[in-house]
Amino acid sequence: MTPQKMGVVITTYNQPKWLKKVLFGYEAQRHSGFTVIIADDGSGQPTREVIEFFQARGKLTIQHIWHEDKGFQKCQILNKAIAQTDCDYLIFTDGDCIPEPDFIGIHQSLAEPGHFLSGGYVKLTTPVSEAITEADIASGVIFNIDWLKKAGQPSNHKLWKLIKNKTIKALLNAITPTKATWNGMNSSTWFYLDQ
């Protein structure tokens, strides 16, 4: 069974600089036909301006679900965003996680009824994150281990998540000591509305 209508739920709160880079990443996806659902925990006008910028570009279908800032209420805004979607499959991520070009496609291809997916991420240093440009995101170069090292990212085993060789990647996925857990930056599941 393949998802018919996919949505990616992005949580954010007053981080327009990072959200802009993330949305450039969704514009660069190889898979199309998904909805971006921004679950906004009370951000101000600068975040709204970023969202309006991308809506005007017309490359993404964006829903902006917002509520008033009353302190940290991430779960509440997530519930509001989920309640307002008509998607049958949802990917959950954060407003500072730039997706690889195949991010949506991988979640779609691995989706199985009765299961959820849990993926990883690579945490970049702040200077590397700040140096990333729209062109870097569009080209996909930021997912190249050598490029990241040259940009100043410390070399460690966490960069192995970016290995491109499918055989090595499958082996690493098979022997990982990490247990699948639901996390907010890279998880997905089926969503069924009770009729």
Q: For residue range 163-183, what is the model confidence (pLDDT) as tens digits?
A: 777 777 677 667 766 677 777
Rounded to a whole number of angstroms, the distance between the first and last alpha carbons of the chain is: 20
d(CA 133, CA 72): 30
- How high is the pLDDT of residue 15? 97
pLDDT at site 195: 38
* Three-state secondary-structure class, residue 59: coil
Domains of the chain in sequence order? 1-119+182-195 (3.90.550.10), 124-179 (no CATH)
Longest dimension (CA), the chain: 53
* 13, 122, 136, 41 alpha-carbon torsion, rounded to 10°: -10
pLDDT tens column, 42-64:
999 999 999 999 999 999 999 99
**Of 80-84, 142-146, 191-195, where does mean pLDDT reach its minimum?**
191-195
Q: What is the pLDDT of residue 158?
A: 78
